[in-house]
């Protein structure tokens, strides 16, 4: 797949000067892989921290219980009225 990113002129100039023509795509791909892996690790760490947060877990349990409070016939009545 071809992707054409826009780079600031100073960065593009450094790339053109420092990386040989035939190595540019591989270099950009390698750098992008590193950055995406770093971001994925950060997201995973944030998810783990959120999952370990007992206060957040209590709030989620409370939010999930809201649907349990709807009387059994109320949901069917709402569907019949087009809600």
Q: How many CB atoms lie within 10 A of CB 28?
A: 15
What pLDDT shows up at residue 58?
86
What pLDDT shows up at residue 74?
62
pTM: 0.61
Q: Are 56 and 50 in contact (CB under 8 A)?
A: yes
Evaluated on CA atoms 50, 52, 56, 57, the torsion sign reads positive
Work out the mean pLDDT of the chain and round it to a whole number: 87
What pLDDT shows up at residue 77?
60
């Amino acid at each position: 797949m071809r992707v054409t990113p826009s780079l600031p002129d100073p960065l593009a100039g450094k790339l053109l000067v420092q990386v040989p023509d035939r190595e540019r795509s591989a270099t950009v791909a390698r750098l992008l892989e590193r950055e995406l892996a770093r971001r994925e690790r950060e997201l995973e760490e944030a998810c783990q921290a959120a999952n370990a947060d007992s206060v957040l877990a209590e709030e989620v349990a409370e939010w999930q219980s809201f649907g349990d409070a709807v009387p059994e016939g109320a949901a069917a009545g709402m569907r019949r009225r087009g809600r």
